[in-house]
Structure 1
């Protein structure tokens, strides 16, 4: 990577993080002062950015955010709103403040013993909105909830949490992976025993492409990663590389090259590629693929730090065509997934 590109990456990351922290009260996509998955992805990425740069201001801002918003946490006990808790175990390590660990254990035990599950024992994807998805398993859950459990397991040295994280990741990949392409379907309906619209949605694959490796990082030293699970994950990465566009991005529905490309999913997938290369799990061609994504994504960041080309919050839609028509607008999860990708180059 040239020096000029590295400088460009670092400058873009600063703009993105600054834009995220400004917030936008009442704007669903950019409102940081709520307790849900959208700001959750944002703060996970901001913490990751802190880990790459060690900028004390970033850490101070995250601590202040938790103190402003912790009162909302107990009112949002659904799987999709577990995402903000993902930063708590690490904040406990960084600050020594017991409140972070106490809250984490309480929420982790709720997930172990009370959170709704499907007949396969996977977490049912529950949300804060007035909508129910009974017996449905979504790829999103891997990033929104399973990552938190893995991180809590490492920090608390409590194998209950680590073992559940490994179990849930295994179940989600088993239920969602397409044997033919290696890609993941967005969701699985356990009652109907089908993948509903059978859409291989880009951002669903991104949640697992980057989230699974973050989970593996947390599990190291506690549990062995089964060879079969590692092989399934690597199969996913190969399937993803097979459908990457020449410009470095991916279609909003991965196996529909005629559909528009989508930035947040592309960034998350490329971040997974970069992490997998660093682990030695895939070859250098995946680094080249991630580099192409980086160049394309940088062009979608404006001078204010807003990431463009990000599709809205997406349930499992009825048809593949609906994914292609979903509106695009700035979101904290879009900013966050791009920041996770940029962080791979800042730390290089």
Structure 2
């Protein structure tokens, strides 16, 4: 049975308010649970920092702003970007690209030359300055822990996260400015990441690939990692408005459908997925589950999936709703997760309220409303 629209709207409003007010008061308590190995990265808390957790949150608010023509959310987003740019941005890398996916669309309303210049310059940087792996892959360079201007190179490594954090923005810019080289590079990255990260036997994505050792690290099928593809692929295809080469589109859609089919088979009774998808002893995790649910629902809405997937998506939404507290806090969210060499690495990541947990729940609830 589908959740009532009223309940979805109430929980959605709570999640957004919690995200917009999310601070760092609880950081020290959470930090005591473990350091970087357990997923504690100070930048991941709150909504103020310019990085991927906040960028995913901004994207969720943008989606709702556009859906409901909400002026308050638009003002909030404009102030967020204005404040961050004035205070100075962190190093450029894969993860700090994520906020720009929201900025490029937000600027359709403001036509701010400084916003446009930043987006154009960053897209050019991705094409010409971002370190590359063998075969021209976007190397998954990330922010250094505790150093806003530093980076962690992750030399010659491909991570599944890159598709959502960076490739969506580059494609959006290519479509907006009719730059075929940016669009083509996005296609190249999509196909290259599928080539090295997708397992054709179990139909899931590995977290990463190393060109140094030619391996998939621990060979782990991580929930949130997989969810970046499930969530991002429908948005990516939508940007083309029917102009994508049919052969390329077929490969992308076939991969998406196969992956979603595998995910449906692995769904827990609660409606959520385990943080290591193929390991039932690992904890159930809300942020990845929410992204999977949102990706499924949008796939159904766009006709990429048939209605038989609706029951699975709705069960996931119910599972997420059960893990949203009265104040809007999304529970059962795994903290920042670096590359792991075994299942234990992922199972030991701490669980804490995170900006992207709020954000991905927002996207799932928005899609649940869209399909009603």
TM-score, length-normalised on structure 2?
0.89
User: After superposition, what is the alpha-carbon deviation per residue over 1:128-163, rounded to whole angstroms, capped at 9, x for unaligned?
Assistant: 115331111111111111111121122222222222
Task: Provide runs of 4+ in structure 1 moved above 6 Å.
Answer: none
Q: Matches of 1:96 and 1:252 in 2, distance apart?
A: 41
Q: Name which of 354, 359, 364 aligns with 1:331.
A: 354
Q: Matches of 1:73 and 1:289 in 2, distance apart?
A: 43
User: After superposition, what is the alpha-carbon deviation per residue over 1:243-279, rounded to whole angstroms, capped at 9, x for unaligned?
Assistant: 1112211110001122211010011011111111112
> Is the counterpart of residue 15 in structure 1 residue 14 in structure 2?
yes
Aligned-residue offset at 1:324: 1.2
Is 1:24–1:32's contact at 8 Å kept on the other side of the alignment?
A: yes
Q: Matches of 2:294 and 2:243 in 1, distance apart?
A: 24
Q: Which residue of 2 aligns with 1:310?
A: 333
> Is the counterpart of residue 240 in structure 1 residue 263 in structure 2?
yes
Q: Name which of 322, 326, 329 aligns with 1:299.
A: 322
Q: Matches of 1:73 and 1:85 in 2, distance apart?
A: 15
> Is the counterpart of residue 116 in structure 1 residue 131 in structure 2?
yes
Q: Name which of 75, 79, 86 aligns with 2:101.
A: 86
Q: Matches of 2:118 and 2:112 in 1, distance apart?
A: 11
RMSD between aligned residues? 1.6
User: After superposition, what is the alpha-carbon deviation per residue over 1:193-224, rounded to whole angstroms, capped at 9, x for unaligned?
Assistant: 10001110000001110011111111224433
Q: Which residue of 1 aligns with 2:307?
A: 284
> Is the counterpart of residue 184 in structure 1 residue 205 in structure 2?
yes
Is 1:186–1:199's contact at 8 Å kept on the other side of the alignment?
A: yes
Aligned-residue offset at 1:322: 1.7
Aligned-residue offset at 1:21: 0.8
- Mapping for residues 249-264 of structure 1, pairs under 5 Å: 249-264=272-287
Q: Matches of 1:15 and 1:229 in 2, distance apart?
A: 35
Is 1:209–1:272's contact at 8 Å kept on the other side of the alignment?
A: yes
Q: Matches of 2:124 and 2:87 in 1, distance apart?
A: 18
Deviates more, 1:167-176 or 1:104-113: 167-176
Aligned-residue offset at 1:72: 5.6
Is 1:24–1:31's contact at 8 Å kept on the other side of the alignment?
A: yes
> Is the counterpart of residue 68 in structure 1 residue 83 in structure 2?
yes
Q: Name which of 224, 230, 241 aligns with 1:209.
A: 230
Is 1:154–1:222's contact at 8 Å kept on the other side of the alignment?
A: no
Is 2:334–2:350's contact at 8 Å kept on the other side of the alignment?
A: yes
5+ residue gaps, structure 1, are: none
Q: Matches of 2:226 and 2:282 in 1, distance apart?
A: 16
Q: Matches of 2:342 and 2:94 in 1, distance apart?
A: 24
Is 2:139–2:153's contact at 8 Å kept on the other side of the alignment?
A: no
- SS of 1:59 mapped into structure 2: helix
Aligned-residue offset at 1:103: 1.1
Q: Which residue of 1 aligns with 2:23?
A: 24
Q: Matches of 1:336 and 1:147 in 2, distance apart?
A: 17
- SS of 1:309 mapped into structure 2: coil
- SS of 1:301 mapped into structure 2: coil
Q: Which residue of 2 aligns with 1:96?
A: 111
5+ residue gaps, structure 2, are: 28-41, 146-151
Aligned-residue offset at 1:39: 0.8
- SS of 1:120 mapped into structure 2: helix
Aligned-residue offset at 1:241: 1.2
Q: Matches of 1:150 and 1:246 in 2, distance apart?
A: 37
Is 1:137–1:189's contact at 8 Å kept on the other side of the alignment?
A: yes
- SS of 1:20 mapped into structure 2: helix
Aligned-residue offset at 1:89: 1.4
TM-score, length-normalised on structure 1?
0.95
